[in-house]
Amino acid sequence: MTEAADKSTMARRTDFRFWHFFERIALLVVWFVLIAVYGAAMPQSFLTWGNFAILFASYAPAAMLALAIIVPLTAGDYDLSVGATLTLCSAIIGVLNVWHHLPILLVLAVALAVGILAGLVNALFILFFRIPSLVVTLGTTSVMTGLAQWITNSSTIGGIDNALVMAVVGGRFLGVPYAFYYALGAAILMWYVFDYTPLGRRLLFVGRGREVARLNGIAVDRVRLGALIASGVLSAAAGILYAGVLGSADPYSGLNFLLPAFAAAFLGATTILPGRFNPWGVIVAVYFLATGITGLAMLGIPLWVTNVFNGGALILAVTVSQLTRGRDAIEIG
């Protein structure tokens, strides 16, 4: 009798393991199904390595941006300003490099410093004045977008140093431009920090239970400050990638990355490590969304569908991610 009981629990456990495993790879499966569907519809144009190489490179800034978002999200704060930071940083690169002829390395350092500054400003209002992060970063988004338009005279600045363009899309590894590998590098770094350092644990506890974290001796505000600065730096890096991919600084289009990046952050939390914002999930989710949009575009579907697709994906992603967390609302404030 005990043997039978053992067997049934064993069976249940294997069952459970199977479903758990399936949940982890579900998005990957859906992604491959999507590729197969588009591939069947457009075998000549869609299913080519060249197409995927471009897709991987052109969405690298979005991937970097989504990675930037999940750092403060894990610590329990929204950072909506990442899109504007990206835009401002790429605009600064254009202005300083093209108009003021500053050397590119110095310009990149300035861009990263602006990312840090953006994180500090957000942190000042969120942590010191205790304003909800949603409000603060919505405000700084508008401020930084305005600044980007001001310094560029609302014009696209072409002719950024070729060294940057070469470093981002000039070389290829396995046929894919370097841009993709920068995003991959950031994902690996974050994977290490999130999963294999005490800092990652602290980040997680600060996001899930501020009071618990505080009573366990974690410097909650310092961790949140660090997370906001990290997202500023990563979005500045995304801005650098964006400038490199385009070879120019565009003060308008950067914000278009915000929604897909948020959708990817939440969709990424349904996969690989379901219930947690995780870098590998983000990478899978970004390229899943990119594939969906690229395929639609190639099918000749009008531009407005992209917006519907991104917005729908965001809501769906949050819903699914909440369901996998057992219907606990995601508490971020």
Partner 1 sequence: MSTLSTPLNHVVSGPGAGKPLPVLHVTDIAKSFGGAKALAGISFEVLPGEVHGLLGKNGSGKSTLVRILAGFHAPDPGGKLKFNGKTVDLPLKAGDFRRLGMSFVHQNLGLVPSLTVLENLRFADLTTKPAPFINWRSERKAAIEALGRFDLAIDPDERVARLSPVERALLAIVRAFEEIRAECSATGKPGLVLLDEPTPFLPREGVEKLFTLMRSIASTGSSVIFISHDIEEVMAITDRITVLRDGLVAGELTTAGATHGQVVDLIVGRTLAKRATPAYAKPVDTGEPFIRVENLAGGSLCETSFAVGRGEILGLTGLIGSGYEEAPYLIFGARPGRSGILHLTADAKAVPIGRMSPDRALALDFALLPGDRQNASGVDSLSIADNMLLPDVTRFFRGGFLRPAAMMREAYALGERYEVRPNTPPAKLSTLSGGNAQKVLIARWMNRNPRLLLLDEPTQGVDVGTRVQIYAALKAAASSGTSVVCASSDVEQLAEICDRVLVFARGQICREITGPELTKDGIAEACYASLDASDETGSRAVTNWQ
- Applying CB under 8 A, which residues contact partner 1? 195-198, 200-202, 204-205, 208-209, 211-212, 214-217, 219, 275, 325-326, 328
Minimum distance from CB of 297 to partner 1 (Å)?
Answer: 38
Q: Residue 148's closest CA among 241, 78, 233, 239?
A: 239
For 255, phi and psi rounded to 5 degrees? -65, -20
Minimum distance from CB of 225 to partner 1 (Å)?
Answer: 16
Minimum distance from CB of 214 to partner 1 (Å)?
Answer: 6
Q: Rounded to an integer, what distance in angstroms lies between the CA atom of residue 153 and that of residue 107? A: 19
Nearer to partner 1, 117 or 188 (CB): 188
CA dihedral sign of residues 249, 251, 256, 257: positive
- The CA-atom distances, in angstroms, between 233 and each of 112, 247, 260 are 6, 21, 19
Asked if 182 contacts 60 with a C-beta cutoff of 8 angstroms, the reply is yes
Minimum distance from CB of 202 to partner 1 (Å)?
Answer: 8
Q: Rounded to an integer, what distance in angstroms lies between the CA atom of residue 252 and that of residue 46? A: 28
Nearer to partner 1, 247 or 275 (CB): 275
Minimum distance from CB of 76 to partner 1 (Å)?
Answer: 11
Token pair belonging to 151:
């310094």
Nearer to partner 1, 7 or 222 (CB): 222
Nearer to partner 1, 232 or 274 (CB): 274
**Long-range CB contacts (within 8 A, 24+) of 39-48:** 41/295, 41/299, 42/295, 42/298, 42/299, 45/298, 46/295, 46/298
Nearer to partner 1, 94 or 207 (CB): 207
Nearer to partner 1, 174 or 211 (CB): 211
Minimum distance from CB of 206 to partner 1 (Å)?
Answer: 10
Nearer to partner 1, 128 or 196 (CB): 196
Asked if 166 contacts 247 with a C-beta cutoff of 8 angstroms, the reply is no
Minimum distance from CB of 173 to partner 1 (Å)?
Answer: 26
Q: Rounded to an integer, what distance in angstroms lies between the CA atom of residue 166 and that of residue 172? A: 10
